[in-house]
């Protein structure tokens, strides 16, 4: 969904919510800070209803740049990506909830993408990122479904399956990368696109070059995915497949 236009909205972070183990986590903004509302609910006949009219307020991590954050979930639970400098430095927090009811944000990762800019200077190859050309998109729209094109992309992704290849030049470790950006460095703006629906991967986007990166939360490795082709100047809002579609993703068990 790289070619959908949207009106600018400074509250874009509030568009993202997360569903985890029977609860819905929804971000909200307040004059005293940013919070997450945890709603306890049950689902009946496709209608979401509050269970016992219960909800819980969870304060988001402090210390970032204003209210720039991205709420989402991955394999282990609910995550919050916190923008630390409005440029290229992020902290990734995992929401920890005990059986006794204690809730806290645990720092899971810290990443500064300034080194990625130097590691992949003006790299234009597509990498493993699968992107449709404008002609292919028009063909899909005209024919409604193009199984030949779809099968081609599914086969390519299934073969790669985002597994680490020691000979892949697009994969680097970030263990020795600085945790903060240099004051005089070019102002490349990175954004968190979201999370892989069933793997511990966060996706980030270099707005200046339209380059996209996969950041593995367990190994702190970065993989260059390639260029995201889109017709507009930047990426304002992003979303992954909704739960009803993840069954069709290649590699899904």
pLDDT of 89 over the 50 cut = yes
Confidence label for 129 from pLDDT (cuts 50, 70 and 90):
low
| 4: in domain | no
Residue 7 lies in a domain: no
Report if residue 6 sits inside a domain.
no
The pLDDT, as a whole number, for residue 128 is 57
For 139-159, what is each residue's pLDDT tens digit? 545 555 444 444 554 554 444
Q: How far apart are CA 71 and CA 67, in angstroms?
A: 12
Q: Is 236 helix (H, G, I), strand (E, B) or coil?
A: coil
Residue 141 lies in a domain: yes
d(C-alpha 91, C-alpha 69), whole Å:
10
pLDDT at 174 over 70: yes
Q: Which are the contacts of 181, defined by CB distance < 8 A and separation ≥ 6?
A: 85, 87, 88, 89, 112, 114
170 within a domain of the structure (yes/no) = yes
* Domain count of the fold of the chain: 1
Least confident stretch, 77-86, 127-136, 178-187, 204-213 = 127-136
Residue 246 has pLDDT above 80, yes or no: no
Most confident of 28-37, 50-59, 235-244: 50-59
CA distances from 45 to 23, 50, 127 (A): 17, 14, 43
Instruction: Give me the pLDDT at residue 137, please.
Output: 53
Q: Kindly tell me if the per-residue pLDDT of 75 is higher than 70.
A: yes
pTM here is 0.71
Mean pLDDT of 62-70: 69
How many Cα atoms within 13 Å fall on the side-chain side of residue 235?
25
What torsion, rounded to 10 degrees, do the Cα atoms 27, 239, 157, 123 define?
-100
Find the mean pLDDT for residues 192-205: 86
Range of the domain at 240: 12-248
What are the tens digits of pLDDT across the range 1-52? 444 444 445 555 566 778 888 788 888 766 555 677 776 654 433 344 555 6
Residue 25 located in a structural domain: yes
User: How much is the average pLDDT of 170-186?
Assistant: 76
């Amino acid at each position: 969904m790289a070619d959908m236009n949207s009106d600018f909205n400074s509250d874009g972070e509030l568009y993202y919510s997360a569903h985890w183990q029977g609860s819905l986590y929804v971000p909200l903004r307040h004059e005293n800070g940013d919070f997450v509302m945890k709603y306890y609910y049950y689902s009946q006949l496709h209608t979401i209803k509050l269970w016992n009219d219960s909800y819980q307020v969870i304060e988001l991590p402090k210390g970032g740049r204003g209210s720039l954050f991205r709420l989402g979930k991955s394999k282990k639970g609910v995550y919050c990506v916190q923008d630390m400098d409005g440029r290229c430095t992020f902290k990734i927090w995992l929401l920890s909830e005990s059986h006794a009811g204690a809730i806290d944000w645990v720092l899971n990762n810290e990443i500064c993408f300034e080194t990625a800019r130097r590691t992949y200077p003006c790299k234009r190859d597509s990498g493993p990122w699968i992107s449709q050309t404008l002609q292919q998109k028009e063909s899909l729209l005209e024919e409604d479904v193009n199984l030949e094109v779809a099968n081609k992309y599914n086969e390519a992704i299934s073969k790669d399956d985002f597994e680490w290849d020691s000979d892949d030049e697009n994969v680097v470790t970030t263990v020795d990368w600085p945790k903060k950006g240099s004051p005089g460095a070019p102002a490349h703006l990175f954004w968190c696109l979201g999370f892989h629906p069933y793997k511990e991967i966060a996706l980030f986007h270099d707005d200046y070059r339209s380059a996209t990166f996969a950041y593995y939360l367990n190994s702190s490795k970065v993989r260059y995915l390639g260029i995201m082709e889109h017709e507009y100047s930047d990426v304002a809002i992003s979303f992954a497949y909704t739960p009803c579609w993840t069954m069709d993703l290649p590699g899904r068990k």
